[in-house]
């Protein structure tokens, strides 16, 4: 399942694309923030995939151009969704799109982490 939606900008939240790969399974999600992290993010998401049985994994991409988050290469990472910022802003804009996604989907909370850990 891949549900692709473009979300228009609204006050405080830039326009972004939502690629939803799976239904919500947990009360909480972890949001990973990335921009052009290359192999580092792929290693991190590989390591995180085992957590998908406990928490939904959402990636908020700031507009990567390095191909590291190509849609056809993400299945093994067991992501719930990939959110791709299209409007202006930097990290705080990515955070706002992730929090909006979590609120829209009724999560009880969001854990946030950086996508350049390795």
Summarize pLDDT for 27-74 with one digit per residue, the tens: 999 999 999 999 999 999 999 999 999 999 999 999 999 999 999 999
Query: For 72-94, what is the mean pLDDT?
Result: 94
Check residue 2 and give its pLDDT. Answer: 80
Answer whether residue 1 shows pLDDT above 80.
Answer: no
Which CATH number applies to 3-114? 3.40.50
**pLDDT band with cut points at 50, 70 and 90 for residue 10:** very high
Q: Are strands 56-61 and 28-34 parallel, antiparallel or unpaired?
A: parallel
Choice between 20 and 87, residue whose per-residue pLDDT is larger: 20
Structure tokens given for 6 = 């473009």
Using left for φ > 0, alpha for ψ between -120 and 50, and beta otherwise, residue 63 falls in left
The pTM of the full predicted model, rounded to 2 decimals, is 0.94
């Amino acid at each position: 399942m891949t549900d692709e939606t473009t979300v228009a900008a609204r006050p405080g939240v830039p326009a972004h694309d939502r690629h939803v790969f799976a239904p919500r399974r947990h009360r909480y999600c972890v949001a990973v923030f990335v921009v052009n992290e290359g192999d580092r993010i792929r290693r991190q998401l590989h390591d995180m995939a085992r957590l998908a049985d406990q928490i939904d994994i959402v990636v908020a991409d700031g507009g990567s151009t390095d191909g590291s988050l190509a849609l056809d290469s993400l299945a093994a990472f067991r992501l719930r969704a990939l959110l791709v910022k299209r409007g202006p802003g930097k990290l705080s804009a990515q955070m706002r799109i992730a929090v909006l996604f979590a609120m829209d989907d009724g999560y009880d909370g969001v854990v946030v982490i950086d996508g350049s850990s390795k």
